Amino acid sequence: MPGPEFEPDQRNRIVKSTLSRRSFVQSSTLIAAACAAPSASPAFADPSQATGKPSPVQLGVASYTFRNFTRVQMIGFMKQLNLAALNAKDVKDHLPMDPAEEAKALADYATAGISLHAGGVIYFPKDEDDDIRAKFEYAKRAGLSVIVAGDPAPATLPRLEKFVKEYDIRIAIHNHGPEDKVWPSPITVWTAVRNFDQRIGCCIDVGHALRAGTDVPQAIRTIGPRLFNMHIKDLTSFESKESQVAVGQGIVPIHDIFLALIATRYKGFVDLEYEIQGDNPMPGVIESFAYMRGVLAGMGYRA
């Protein structure tokens, strides 16, 4: 079944409207945040100062953003960002696969008031019970409700379904763009999984999806309750993986994506996955959260 894709004129309209909206929201957000927190960066503005009802869009961060930093450093960054929702990955010492080391990480997060809602990307290269069970045990120990799966072969889905039922942990298959010949877009994932157990679904990586020609807001509406997690990022070109920038600097239609999530009553998290500037991510991360919070504030929500 073909997925929702951009027509050339539609893409041009999205780019133009996004640039106009971005300029307005970004300038108003920075001014408002500066007034609310005169001694802090805009992303650190106290959400309690915002007006409106609580945001139905929940923001989190993928620990891969801080892949070059230790768990302790990442916790410090999250406190600066006033952020408590983490999508953890077995990178650095963020959420090790070893049970004893994993327990130490979980204790650190609990002490810091950080909640883990998903884990990944976790890879499933083998269609074997032992390998898959080890990944589910890892997720169970961490109390994860969603496993973001990177590369399961379609032939593995029946076996994954068996473990999804046994553990009652959802699997969200992550799309990796046009380079991935198996899971290029979220619609590819949805088409493959929609006849399996309802706990097998999608993690939309927005940047990769757009590069695969997907109309992301429409894909969100198509996938509906099978959308379990989102990785958010921004690009200056839908043709270039290397064009990633801080959210708000590019042409990704963040406002329209949030509208689609709200319309479909999405209950998961929108996790910033900042894949550039690995040795100094915080300036871009700060700007990204300031922009996303500003978009939500502009929609009348308290982020």
Q: Please give the pLDDT value at position 156.
A: 96
Of the candidates 141, 156, 80, 144, the residue with the CA atom closest to the CA atom of residue 117: 144
- 8-32+57-302: CATH superfamily: Divalent-metal-dependent TIM barrel enzymes (3.20.20.150)
What percentage of the chain exceeds 90 in pLDDT? 82
Q: Quick one: tokens of 68?
A: 């070059």
Mean pLDDT of the chain: 88
Q: Quick one: tokens of 27?
A: 């300038």
How far is Cα 268 from Cα 284, in angstroms, rounded to an integer?
A: 23
In the block, residue with structure tokens 């298959």: 173
* Bridge pairing between strands 244-245 and 234-235: antiparallel
Query: Which tens digit of pLDDT belongs to each residue from 150-184?
Result: 989 999 999 999 999 999 999 999 999 999 999 99
Q: Looking at the predicted structure, is the pLDDT value of residue 88 above 50?
A: yes
User: In the structure, what pLDDT confidence band is assigned to residue 50 with cuts at 50, 70 and 90?
Assistant: low
**N-term to C-term CA, the chain:** 36
In DSSP notation, 101-155 reads HHHHHHHHHHHHT-EEEEEEEE------HHHHHHHHHHHHHHT-SEEEES---GG
Q: Please give the pLDDT value at position 51.
A: 61
Name the residue ranges covered by the structural domains of the chain: 8-32+57-302
pTM of the full structure: 0.85
Q: Quick one: average pLDDT of 221-241? A: 97
Query: Which tens digit of pLDDT belongs to each residue from 93-135?
Result: 999 999 999 999 999 999 999 999 999 999 999 999 999 999 9
User: In the structure, what pLDDT confidence band is assigned to residue 19 with cuts at 50, 70 and 90?
Assistant: very low
Q: Looking at the predicted structure, is the pLDDT value of residue 214 above 50?
A: yes
